[in-house]
Amino acid sequence: MSEEISKSENQATPLSVRWTKPEEGICEIYSNFYHLNWTVFDVRIRFGQIVPNPDDPPESAHVTVTEQAAITMPWGQIKALRDMLIDIVGRYEAVNGEIKVPKLPI
């Protein structure tokens, strides 16, 4: 029995994270456009939504990007995020087939 106790004492327990929502709620954002900048310390991702330019008449409307949010993260978290995204995309494609990145007509 003492062997079992020492094994459990040496095993790391997984970190339990509790998510809470602020009283004012959370901000839900849709993005279909992004832009990356970086420094030696961190990476900044700007998220936007492509929409028709409200200043153009409908018959000749061009698109504009409405900035929705910006997130700055340290390099270590960006690398962990990259690995998580690679994993989840791989799982999705294993079930649903390859995701095709759409191309805009020119």
Nearest to 36 by CA among 72, 63, 88: 72
- pLDDT class for 91, splitting at 50, 70, 90? very high
Instruction: List pLDDT tens digits, range 5-56.
Output: 444 455 566 678 898 988 998 888 999 999 999 999 999 999 999 998 888 8
d(CA 35, CA 61): 23
What is the residue whose two structure tokens read 């003492």?
Answer: 2
d(CA 75, CA 18): 24
CA distances from 78 to 37, 45, 72, 75, 83 (A): 12, 10, 9, 5, 9
